[in-house]
Structures are given as structure tokens and as C-alpha cells.
Chains A and B, each alone.
Chain A
């Protein structure tokens, strides 16, 4: 299957700092990428949909100024958690849609964010 690379896999930061997470589709073009958040033993909650070259669409209750999304190219989307606080600690996962393979959705390996 298609490969989605997500970095970093784990990050620990101090409260008030910003953290950037990268999501790359390595062997396909992804016009759409999705960002999810997952708490321990829970399901994946969709945060936002990122379309290449346009503004991201955020789900209800997700602060767009808190979670900045940039999708500048067909293979890269970034999520920046601004002024992180302990309650932002979570597992963040990106996914990318490969239009060439019937709209399948492939996931990165996730980023575990811990805010101290």
C-alpha cells in the first residue's frame, strides 16, 4: 500500500511552546489529508480536513487558531499545535487520500505529544 510518513513520532515539550508535526505522502499525491486525535483506549476523532492549496476545514469544537494546518504541496501537510498546554497531550495521526487507488485512506504512524 501507499506510504505516509509522519514526524516526529514522539515529542515532549514545555507548556506554552509550539510543536509542528509533518505528514508526507511518499509515493503518491494526496490532494486531501486528514488530521485525527486519539486519546488512550478511544477512537480517532477527526480534527480537520486539509486540501492542497486551500484553507483547512475544521470539525466543530476544534480551535483553528490553536491547531494550525498547512497543506502547501500535494505531498506535505503540517499541523502546528500553538502554545501547547497539558490538555493538548494526545496521539495525533495524519492520513492521506490516494486518488489513484479508489479513494483509500492511508495513515501515518502517529505522533505522541506530551506537554509538561
Chain B
């Protein structure tokens, strides 16, 4: 399978701070998806991106599809305790049907 490198691996931040994470690959993708997963649950879709350079927001979350099509970024503004969880990026290759997942970013928000 494809390797999507996600960083940072983990983050410990104070409530109210902004968060940034990114996902990179050596392959070109035509779709990027960002998910949040709570323990013992399936991932929940946060944002979907379909075009290079696309910038999309969902409340306090903003994600961008990198112009090289090999990376994507997720930002969370003014973090709150319920933002705690593991965030995953997922990418779909240009030629292919499958979605591959990044290595995940564990976010801890300190009240």
C-alpha cells in the first residue's frame, strides 16, 4: 500500500491555541480527506478536498489540498477540549480506487 506520512505524530496544546498538521506522500493524489477518530469508533469525516490548491473550511477546521497534489494540511483554530482525538488524512491516488491513510496525529487539549 501507499505510505502517507503525517506530522506531527502527537500534539499537546492549551485550550484556545491553534493547531496545524500535515500529510505528505511521494505519490500524486486526486482526493484528500481528513478524519477524526475517537477510541473504539470508526473515523468521522471532517473535510473533503478534490482540487489542487483547494481551501475548505468546516467551522473551526480548515484544510488545504497542496498544489503539488502530494500533500494536504489541516488547521484547527481556537482548540477546545472536545477536539481531543486522533486525526487522520486519507488520499486517493490519481489512478486507482483505493484510499490510503496517514499515520495519524494524536491531539491532546489541556483545559
Contacts and interface: CB of A to CB of B under 8 A. Distances in A.
A104 B92 CA distance: 10
Nearest to A104: B48
Among B40, B99, B101, B104: residue with most chain A CB under 10 A: B99
Interface residues of B, number: 23
Contacts of B104: 42-43
Given A104-B33, A109-B41, A49 B50 contact: no
Interface string B47-80: 0101000000000000000000000000000000
B45 A105 contact: yes
B40 A44 contact: no
A26 B10 CA distance: 34
A107 B98 contact: no
Given A43-B104, A44-B88, A49 B44 contact: no
B63 to A, nearest CB: 13
Interface string A34-58: 1010000011111001010000010
Contacts of B100: 46
A109 B42 contact: yes
Contacts of A105: 33, 45, 90, 99
B1 A93 contact: no
B103 interface: yes
Contacts of A34: 98-99
B45 A104 contact: yes
Contacts of A59: 1, 98
B98 A46 contact: yes
Given A34-B99, A110-B42, 16 more contacts: A6-B42, A36-B101, A42-B104, A44-B90, A44-B101, A51-B97, A59-B1, A95-B42, A102-B48, A102-B50, A103-B92, A104-B33, A107-B42, A107-B44, A108-B42, A110-B41
